[in-house]
Structure 1
């Protein structure tokens, strides 16, 4: 089912951070990726917070050690973790790039009887087999979190949460513009949003609009994938073709590859909306698809008027066909991305 709520990875991150801010420390933190990849932003955020906040500056020289997997072994890390703090309540031991550490499985013996005065933080790029005994043991006494990369459809929620955390507001169109332009690099997303916040006076309302995004980040508020989606939802053929023409002619827009994720996600959700208990009721659709507002749900109640379930299935199949052609499958040597974009939009609208 479509999900417009806070991404799972962010929920895990925020829960761990809440405990840390309340000084509810655990002896072991295993922060890793998943089989689908690793979102290092959340891992780095947690480990850096621990490094910067658990100990006072004057306590760190003797009680905080940061190892790197390529330069150390798990044996050395464990020896350090077993030591007791000097003139401090805690010791912090961080192992970055843990997937490169020699003898990593030695951690199992340490986790059986960890030093309760040490915070051992394991930053692991990739996934650890959840069947390992030390993983289940670590879950009982510490924190184990797997941070997968955010999907395209989760970026809006991440952006909105970050803006909210800085005391601001951003509308859905503006967050979609930022997500489309920047992509899934969360550090860069934050950096681009910070550019917008710099423009606000200290006491002024911090409302991020499409015009601000256009001015500060350099994205067209009128010609982007989000606007194209809205034109398609309304079955506005003229506007949709105008936007496609602009996108394909602007090298900064990302062209076809920027269009497909936004539109594909919409039609996937529309397929679900067709079979919702009350598919023409915005409030019901909002609940069924896990959306944040009736405004977002109206894109689906409107789309249902123009695209039947059968047409929606055909459109989803067409996306797969266009994606294959863009990779050179079943396409002639002379086929251009512009040709594929026109073919896709024509199929959707006719």
Structure 2
């Protein structure tokens, strides 16, 4: 995020690069930079003649170079944005000659999502020398909650750990989806609000009582009644609670629990760091470890892998309901 802020800060100051090559697996920041340039570099009177958006599937590298070499009309700069440029991956190296000697009055923005330039090849070296290469990396699951907190903090909001985890479990690591939901929350909640699981349930529709977070907690406590109630809710609401996601999240929980058993240093901060979780959740692993010794954890992981295969229709003719209930029985008994 610091790198993004530095890029935007330079653009605000008018320190513009002739080429912005935005690449990588996380589209959120690629769109963030590209949209900022599109909306702010030229004023409204200049955009009509001097701002153009192209799409990789519709153009060639020669088309892009030809447009980039034009001079602006009644303005100091022209802005050329190429979206979905990954569709040009087979011919992208043809951009080398332009990148080595770019038009100084053009700001060329290449949105190259889900792919990366080879650092060993000429194009990467040329753009890095004359312009800017930004690699937008996907966040790991255990980094997204911190990202949510930083985004909200910058807007004068806070969020409690459970609410953040609910968002991650429901929306995954897609930052664009998460940002959209945060925007909805900030529209209805006043600044300085500490966002809780109740706010998430009321405004986004994720149940604060029947979700994967609560299921993991109930299983860790060996609370058979609560775990079965949650599974029954999942069965009745399969679109909101896909079996594959539940199995994946439980597998992550028990994999961390296996790692917990192997830790020599079980101080709270050390456990949090080793497992990649907030210290807020560490006590749950201590309790779960007492209820699930290492041998049982290994058995549960095997049962989860078996359920994962079955949930994808391999080697068994069971309903998703039967798979979940059988899995829960194996875990808790």
| TM > 0.5 fold call | yes
User: Which range, TM-score by smaller chain?
Assistant: 0.7 to 0.9
Q: 1:56 to 1:226 in 2, by over 3 A?
A: same
Given the alignment, which residue of 65, 77, 91 partners 1:78? 65
- Asked if structure 1 preserves the Cα contact closer than 8 Å seen for 2:221 and 2:287, the reply is yes
- Asked if structure 2 preserves the Cα contact closer than 8 Å seen for 1:282 and 1:301, the reply is no
Alpha-carbon shift at residue 24 of structure 1 (Å): 4.3
- Report matched runs for 1:181-220 at 5 Å: 181-201=170-190, 205-220=192-207
Alpha-carbon shift at residue 170 of structure 1 (Å): 1.3
Given the alignment, which residue of 214, 230, 233 partners 1:246? 233
> Are 2:16 and 1:25 equivalent residues in the alignment?
yes
- Report matched runs for 1:153-302 at 5 Å: 153-201=142-190, 205-279=192-266, 281-291=267-277, 293-302=278-287
1:66 aligns with 53
Q: 1:103 to 1:220 in 2, by over 3 A?
A: closer
Given the alignment, which residue of 115, 118, 121 partners 1:127? 115
- Asked if structure 1 preserves the Cα contact closer than 8 Å seen for 2:201 and 2:207, the reply is yes
Structure 2: segments with no counterpart, 5+ residues: none
Alpha-carbon distance in structure 1 between the residues aligned to 2:10 and 2:263: 38
Alpha-carbon distance in structure 2 between the residues aligned to 1:47 and 1:311: 50
Alpha-carbon distance in structure 1 between the residues aligned to 2:141 and 2:207: 20
Q: 1:171 to 1:59 in 2, by over 3 A?
A: same
- Asked if structure 2 preserves the Cα contact closer than 8 Å seen for 1:127 and 1:146, the reply is no
Alpha-carbon distance in structure 2 between the residues aligned to 1:18 and 1:272: 42
Structure 1: segments with no counterpart, 5+ residues: 1-9
Alpha-carbon shift at residue 226 of structure 1 (Å): 0.5
Query: TM-score, normalization: structure 2?
Result: 0.86
How big is each residue's C-alpha offset from its partner over 1:126-153, in whole Å with a ceiling of 9 and x where there is no partner?
4245143212332344333344655555
Alpha-carbon shift at residue 297 of structure 1 (Å): 2.8
Alpha-carbon shift at residue 184 of structure 1 (Å): 4.5
Query: TM-score, normalization: structure 1?
Result: 0.83
Alpha-carbon shift at residue 49 of structure 1 (Å): 0.8
Q: Considering Cα pairs closer than 8 Å and 6+ residues apart, tell me whether 1 or 2 has the greater RCO.
A: 1
Alpha-carbon distance in structure 2 between the residues aligned to 1:219 and 1:50: 35
Given the alignment, which residue of 7, 12, 34 partners 1:47? 34
> Are 2:101 and 1:113 equivalent residues in the alignment?
yes
Alpha-carbon distance in structure 2 between the residues aligned to 1:162 and 1:174: 14
- Asked if structure 2 preserves the Cα contact closer than 8 Å seen for 1:197 and 1:206, the reply is no
Alpha-carbon shift at residue 240 of structure 1 (Å): 1.5
Report how many residues are paired. 331
Alpha-carbon distance in structure 1 between the residues aligned to 2:174 and 2:279: 28
